[in-house]
Amino acid sequence: MRRCFLLFASALALTLSAFAQTKTSGSLDCDKSDPRHAIPIPDREGYSYLIGQNKCTWTKPIAIEGLEAKAFVNTVFDEMTGASGRTTASGVTTYGSGDKGYTHSSGTIDAKAMTSSGKWTHAGGTGKLRGIKGGGTFTCKMKSAEPGSGYTCDIEGEYTLPAAKK
């Protein structure tokens, strides 16, 4: 009976460790959007669609399994109504090893406060990051009130990687 219990407990511990989330965090500094396009909606005062791409550097690199983030490219779509809006983005992080991590994010924008915040998820990766799962939150501060200006962000989250194949 005791041997059976120990075997069950060991199997449970291995199973739980396979699902354990590893915490990570980082900070970004993003340049002004280039390219950047704004399309106002006719007859709707203050309503517009914005799309742009920002090239970013990690001021506090996010690290995953010993890989350190070097660069981030974020392609952003915003739907603005006056001073508030919704943001959706797809990002690509390049790590020092050359591996890439892909993310999707969505959140809200407060143009008066010059902030945005929301959630992000891992959408895949290459090399050591293949099969990555997880996500987290972001909070960003715009560098100026000018639309498309650069921004800084703090990122927090968790991830899991598939077990190494034997």
Range(s) of the domain holding residue 131? 25-160
Tell me, yes or no, whether 15 lies in a domain: no
Which distant-in-sequence residues (6+ apart) come within 8 Å of 118 by Cβ? Answer: 87, 105, 106, 107, 108, 137, 138
Tell me, yes or no, whether 121 lies in a domain: yes
DSSP one-letter code for 3: H
Lowest mean pLDDT, pick from 8-17, 44-53, 69-78, 102-111: 8-17
Mean pLDDT of 9-35: 71
Spatial contact of 110 and 87, defined as CB atoms under 8 Å apart: no
Tell me, yes or no, whether 95 lies in a domain: yes
Q: How far is CA 40 from CA 78, 107, 110, 112, 144, in A?
A: 12, 21, 18, 19, 20
Q: For the segment 116-165, what is each residue's pLDDT rounded down to a tens digit? A: 999 999 999 999 999 999 999 999 999 988 877 899 999 999 999 998 76
CATH code, domain with 149: 2.40.350.10
User: Into how many domains does the chain fold?
Assistant: 1
pTM for the model stands at 0.83
